[in-house]
Amino acid sequence: MKTNFFSKSILIFIISFFSALGFVFGNNGEEGNAPVKKEESEKIPVKMSLRYFRLANGNESIKVSAWYKEGKKNVYINNAVINLFFGGVSEEGNIGSGRTDEKGEAVINLFQKYLQIAKGKNDLDFIAHMDGFGSYSEGEEEISIKKAEIKLTVSETDSSVKAVLFQVFGKDSLVPVPETEVKMGIRRMFSILPLGDPLSTDEKGSVASVVPCDIPGDKEGILYVIAKIEDHDEFGTIESEIPVKWGVPVKVVVNHNRTLWASGRNAPIPLVAASVAIVFGIWGVLLYLIFQLFKIKKLSKRES
Amino acid sequence: MENSIRGHEAQRIIKELNVELLPKKFGALGKTWVVLLLIVIANGLFFYCQQLRQGLCITGLGDYVSWGIYISNFVFFVAASLVGSLITAILYLLNVKWRAPLTRISEVIAVAAIMFAGLIIIVDMGRPDRIHHLFMYGRIQSPILWDIIVITTYMTISILLLYFPLLPGIAFCRDNLTNIPKWQKKMYRVLSLGWRGTKDQFAIIKKSVTILSVLIIPVALSIHTVTSWLFATTFRPGWDSTNFGAYFVSGAFMLGAAAVVAGMFVFWKFYEGYNKYITENHFDRMGKLLVLLSLVYLYFTINEYLVPGYKMKQIEADHLQSLFVGHYAPMFWAVQIFGMIIPIIALLFKRFRKPAPMFVIALMVIVAAWFKRFLIVIPTMLHPFLPMQEVPVEMQHYMPTFPELSITLSSLAAALLVITIFVRYFPILSIWEIAEEKGIETEEMEVKGE
């Protein structure tokens, strides 16, 4: 009777445990939020979009979004594997992959392989491919980017920064791009502080912004002025930055007080005293108890 | 002592206890168990060597989740170690008589758990060769340093609390075990400190155990409170709570009690004659204790989720939604249901406080407790208050890698191996305490001559 009940209990436990584990790890798999598998004809058509980014530090990336329409609403696809190709869908052209997050977005950074393939090219053709999974059909989208550059120059006389937008042709031929919106700003920790409204480039491809002199910089007063074009149909999002010495130097206050957030040497005295007292108090008792072990041994010898 | 047993009758009972409770060689099942543990440990060691060579890049850890299952495993071990203070100290000071056969089981679990809590922290370090930097450059203001101090102290107390009452047991082994290898004889001789069981020696043991029992309670509360402060003193959703110390301690007591129940069952089921000492009554009482501890933990759990859930500040909301209805919802609800709700309801009924159902429930609580620590650590790391910029999307998810899982599993297996080895060479039930509970005076246990 006891064994029987024991076996049943074990069985129930095993089933429960493995169902729980199934839940746990099943959710991390390829088909994170995928509905059940369906026939090819019934599969949900997937929409995709691509955006190109080149940051001021030179890092390039492609942000891929994947979603489907449910009535008028866009439903973003989570956990979809996206493969990114350059030039055409082929093994040689596969320059990276990523997985979409809860917002249906995957950011694929463009590293070594892309830099080798794209070297010297001014027309950049990217293709993103999503394999079909669950009830989603496969999806594909492409984007063509023309290589452009923003050159920044500093005018010390009127504390302004001039940005010129060029499209790159041939090896190093730069042609100014007029009538394009450029945002000027100053890099802060988490975002860009805009220097006025976005400006449109003139026939020489240039815009200029005066930098106010009362913005806190680093300890030497250096600010980083940024010029940026965003989501341009031909150039994507590109930015460029230049350091200027027009900021207010920020004094770094070194804390020499005895505080919780100071260095170890400047720990508050009460904290040090309390810690030392507690540690020595407890370890004192423990040493006394270890001494008792020797006493036990001594008693044994005496008795024998 | 009233109704004390003396003389021939006392000697007969002691002899009977010796025959039944002295450690025995493992049978086929025991040997298979040891081999299985060794395989798991060897697999983990292989991957740890790989980790030492290549670094933490072989794990799933990244910029977002820099504390993964190594740290959740550490919290699990610390929690399990608290059982020593519960059964040995609290019940001892409350003069609860039925605890006698359970004290050593709980203490050996505590020692094994705290040993591997310390080791798994070293495993989590990318550069373990720099561990001495913690002591050289550690800040007394940092809970990390407090944790190191308190773990070392707690381990020492636990070892002493295991060793003092074990002395007569080691002497019983020294004097009664025949047909054992020389090294084993020597081990008993050295470890028994020449124990003769005199009145003075027993007095020292009793005094030391009382001191340790008083000392271990604040240290045990500190160890898990300080561990909780590693989280609560950082500004993150899910951790930014004043409740965390009590929440961790209550969860630890619940896990510890379940671990003792699991241990009790193994000896009750597989060790011949032990069911005379670990009886159904013990399971019944431990069942009631487990319900009480589970209810306390349930109270803190509700506090932990209801209050931020009611306010739903944006970043807290993202974190809570990932637990309640999002990516971690299946694990979260499985843990609450299997690890708390079902055990509480089931253990309210006497029929579930029998050994077999208790064992199943204890295993459920233990497994759920491990995943609970996972849920405390990982989802929070995925929702930092301060945004991180330009992080690749693959770093915004966490899935432990096979090497990481292997190393973690091997630490669990190694803790079990420590317990297993202890059981193989030392009496897991305290013979002299059981004898004393039966009314035998300690003078009757004195070794007469060599």
Using the Cβ of A74 and the Cβ atoms of chain B, whether some distance falls under 8 Å is answered with: no
Residues 161-190 of A with CB under 8 A from B: 190
- pLDDT tops 60 at residue A290: yes
Q: Considering chain B, what is the average pLDDT of its residues?
A: 89
What are B395-409's pLDDT values in tens digits?
Answer: 778 889 999 999 999
User: What's the gap between Cα B308 and its chain centre?
Assistant: 30
Using the Cβ of A281 and the Cβ atoms of chain B, whether some distance falls under 8 Å is answered with: no
Give me the pLDDT at residue B288, please. 94
From B331's Cα to the closest Cα of chain A, the distance in A is: 5
Instruction: Test B394 with A263 for CB contact under 8 angstroms.
Output: no
Collect all residues of chain A within an 8 Å Cβ-Cβ radius of residue B327.
Answer: 27, 32
Q: Which domain holds residue B100?
A: 11-445
From B269's Cα to the closest Cα of chain A, the distance in A is: 10
Question: Can you give the CATH number for the domain in which B128 is found?
Answer: 1.20.1630.10
- pLDDT tops 90 at residue A131: no
Question: Could you tell me if B400 and B60 are in contact, meaning their C-beta atoms sit under 8 angstroms apart?
Answer: yes
- Domains annotated for chain A, with CATH where assigned, are 40-146 (2.60.40.1940), 148-244 (2.60.40)
What integer is the mean pLDDT of B437-447?
A: 73
Instruction: Test A297 with B193 for CB contact under 8 angstroms.
Output: yes
Give me the pLDDT at residue B73, please. 95
What integer is the mean pLDDT of A195-220?
A: 93
Domain total for chain B? 1
Give me the pLDDT at residue A29, please. 40
Domain membership flag for residue B432: yes
How does residue A41 score in pLDDT terms, banded at 50, 70 and 90?
Answer: low
Give me the pLDDT at residue A23, please. 52
- pLDDT tops 70 at residue B448: no
Give me the pLDDT at residue A1, please. 45
- pLDDT tops 90 at residue B343: yes
Give me the pLDDT at residue A28, please. 46
Domain membership flag for residue B147: yes
Domain membership flag for residue B17: yes
The residue with greater pLDDT, A102 or A116, is A116
Percent of chain A whose predicted confidence (pLDDT) is above 70: 86
From A158's Cα to the closest Cα of chain B, the distance in A is: 33
Domain membership flag for residue B2: no
ipTM above 0.95, yes or no: no
Residue A279, classified by CB atoms within 10 Å of its CB into exposed (0-12), middle (13-18) or buried (19+), is: middle
Determine which of A38-47, B218-227, B282-291 has the lowest per-residue pLDDT on average. Answer: A38-47
The residue with greater pLDDT, A31 or A201, is A201
Element holding B356 (H helix, E strand): helix B355-381
Q: Say how far apart CA B198 and CA A296 lie, in whole Å.
A: 10
Domain membership flag for residue B433: yes
Give me the pLDDT at residue B1, please. 46
What integer is the mean pLDDT of B425-440?
A: 83
From B153's Cα to the closest Cα of chain A, the distance in A is: 8
User: Given its phi and psi angles, is residue A159 left (phi above 0), alpha (psi -120 to 50 degrees) or beta?
Assistant: left
What integer is the mean pLDDT of A188-199?
A: 91
Domain membership flag for residue B394: yes
How does residue A2 score in pLDDT terms, banded at 50, 70 and 90?
Answer: very low
In chain B, whose CA is at the least distance from the CA of A54? B390
What integer is the mean pLDDT of B31-60?
A: 94
In chain A, whose CA is at the least distance from the CA of B357? A9
Annotate A79-110 with DSSP letters as a single string: S-EEEEEESSSSTTTEEEEEE--TTSEEEEEE
Determine which of A223-237, B353-367, B378-392 has the lowest per-residue pLDDT on average. Answer: B378-392
Domain membership flag for residue B3: no
Instruction: Test A9 with B357 for CB contact under 8 angstroms.
Output: yes
Give me the pLDDT at residue A18, please. 54
Q: Say how far apart CA B340 and CA B265 lie, in whole Å.
A: 20
Question: Could you tell me if A165 and A150 are in contact, meaning their C-beta atoms sit under 8 angstroms apart?
Answer: yes
The residue with greater pLDDT, B390 or B422, is B422
- pLDDT tops 80 at residue B55: yes
Question: Could you tell me if B119 and B125 are in contact, meaning their C-beta atoms sit under 8 angstroms apart?
Answer: no
Question: At B357, phi and psi to the nearest 5?
Answer: -60, -35
**Alpha carbon distances (Å) from B128 to A217, B125, B210, B404:** 39, 5, 37, 16
Residue type for position A51:
R
How does residue A30 score in pLDDT terms, banded at 50, 70 and 90?
Answer: very low
Collect all residues of chain B within an 8 Å Cβ-Cβ radius of residue A28.
Answer: 397, 399
- pLDDT tops 80 at residue B438: no
